[in-house]
Amino acid sequence: MRIQPAKSIRGEIRVPPDKSITHRMIFFAAMAKDRCEIENPLIADDTLRTLDLVKSVGANVGYDEGKLSIRMERISEPSSPIFCGNSGTTARLGLGFLSRLPLFSVLYGDASLSSRPMDRVIEPLSLLGPIFDGRNKASNLPVSVRGGKIKHANYRSKIASAQVKSAFIIAATAGDGISTYAEPVKSRDHTERFLNVFGIVSKKDGIIEIKPSVIPSFKARVVGDFSSAAFFITLGVCHRNAILEIKDVGLNETRTGFLDVLKRMGASIETRNIKNDFEPYGDLHVESSNLEGTEVSAEEIPSVIDEIPLIALLGAFAKGKTVVRGASELRKKESDRIKAIVSVLSEMGARVQEFEDGFSVEGCNLENAKIDPYGDHRIAMMAVIAGVCGNGVEITDPKVVSISYPSFFEDLKKVKR
């Protein structure tokens, strides 16, 4: 696909529903004691894998007029391995979900997901009692789970990972006593925020306590995905002639570290009409900005983990140098994102340097180039935004954006002038 630069950016968009929250709501609904309704879920490649997982063990799933209806009818052992595709959230939270159930199951994924580490989830979950086996001592998919009879446990994680934390919490709610989980730096908190409403999870002195409980029947609405909105925020501040309104975006503080980085760089961005429904959300007003380079530290990484490719792109449009360190976790995403970021921006003429745990980028004029997005949806969308704000780009695998943002090109077309 060839992407032409835009003369101006104008308009209003609504980004897709939040992918992270949709995954979690599906699992919570399958754990609940009666039928649940999820309004405005994201229906995309990754979340379809999670729906397939809960259906394979007995969940009844219906979808009509933008609403998912889910009820666990009768728990049944899956007759074949469960495919997780490219979705790390499906696999890791799925391991926690399957640990609760008195059955044998196997999870597997595509080539990319099969190379990503699962031992970080297996270690804490094993303390709760389920038995795991798999490739490289269950460090990589395929992984089998023999679940049921969950114990209680106390776990202190060495990494800040919302997926590891959520997998543990999901399993521990079926335990025989109170479990605790501690993390070195706070990661996105959608799981504990939701379960806290029902008194299942609480936090004391930085330690999350999980009480064995059954989730009651619920109705919930998924807010707009901040990580999807981030691409249009970047478009608005980097393009030389842009005014954008982005409606109903999730504003959970554990997800919006990107806004702090933007403001530090001098971005013209305003938050409006803030509301709350399980999660805070509101509107964003974005305009063309004169950006200054910045440094992103290891402590900030958990709150900007999905937006780091865009921070690199912001650095290319900023005056001075932008440096990101402490982000080695990026090498274990859908692609080696550090390598992919450096490669793509280098192809477009950026002055970028690769580190083991990050990169640096100096402000420059981006050139037209033919880009391979490494099968990574976020790298593909980053390159497209670079082309629209710069001198165009050709993407070799544009369909990969459907993993998280199926309507990305339609929304982009709405605002290009």
Residue appearing with tokens 């640096």: 360
Q: Which residues are registered as beta bridge partners of 178?
A: none
| Residues forming beta bridges with residue 242, ordered by sequence position | 9
Half-sphere exposure of 352 (CA within 13 A, CB side): 28
Specify the residue for token string 């501040």.
237
Indicate if the alpha-carbon torsion angle 273, 409, 234, 391 is positive or negative. negative
**Predicted confidence band at 39 (pLDDT cuts at 50, 70, 90)?**
very high
What percentage of residues in the chain have a pLDDT greater than 70?
Answer: 100
pLDDT tens, position by position, 58-100: 999 999 989 999 999 999 999 999 999 999 999 999 999 999 9
Q: Kindly state the tokens that stand for 361.
A: 């980028």
The reported pLDDT for the residue numbered 206 is 84
- pTM of the predicted structure, to 2 decimals: 0.90
Q: Nearest Cα to 234, choosing from 120, 125, 316?
A: 316
pLDDT for position 313: 98
Confirm if 396 and 373 have CB atoms less than 8 A apart. Answer: yes
- What is the CATH class of 2-16+223-415? alpha beta
Q: Which of 18, 189, 248, 306 is catalytic?
A: 306
Which of 174, 167, 214, 216 is CA-nearest to residue 192?
A: 167
Distance in Å from the first CA to the final CA of the chain: 18
CB 304 within 8 A of CB 378: no
Contact yes or no for 313/258 (Cβ under 8 A): no
Instruction: Using alpha carbons, list the distances in angstroms from residue 96 to 129, 145, 160, 172, 273.
Output: 11, 10, 17, 8, 36
pLDDT of residue 277 exceeding 90? no
309 preceded by a cis bond (ω within 30 of 0): no
Determine the pLDDT at residue 35. Answer: 98
Read off the pLDDT of residues 181-219 as tens digits, 9 standing for 90 and up: 999 988 999 999 999 999 999 998 889 999 999 999 999
Instruction: Tell me the C-alpha distance between 86 and 110, whole Å.
Output: 6
From residue 92, how far is each of 81, 97, 114 by CA, in Å?
Answer: 15, 9, 12
Q: Is 64 a catalytic residue?
A: no
The DSSP 8-state label assigned to residue 17 in this structure reads B
Task: Find the mean pLDDT for residues 222-234.
Answer: 97
Q: Are 65 and 115 in contact (CB under 8 A)?
A: no
Residues of the chain with CATH 3.65.10.10: 2-16+223-415, 19-221
Among the residues of 181-307, which ranges form H helices? 190-196, 226-238, 257-264, 301-304
**b/e per residue, 309-328, with b = 16+ CB within 10 A?**
bbbbbbbbbbeebbbbbebe
User: For residue 204, what pLDDT is reported?
Assistant: 87
Q: Is residue 332 over pLDDT 90? A: no
Query: Residue 200 corresponds to which tokens in the numbers above?
Result: 């299942």
Question: What average pLDDT does this structure show over 353-358?
Answer: 96
Q: What is the pLDDT of residue 64?
A: 94
Q: How confident is the model at residue 300 (pLDDT cuts 50, 70, 90)?
A: very high
Among the four given CATH numbers 3.10.100.10, 2.40.50.140, 3.40.50.300, 3.65.10.10, the one describing domain 19-221: 3.65.10.10
| DSSP bridge partners of 282 | 249
pLDDT average, residue stretch 290-309: 95
Angle between helices 377-389 and 337-347 (to 10 degrees): 20
* Model confidence band, residue 279 (pLDDT cutoffs 50, 70, 90): very high
Average pLDDT of the chain?
96
Per-residue pLDDT at 366: 95
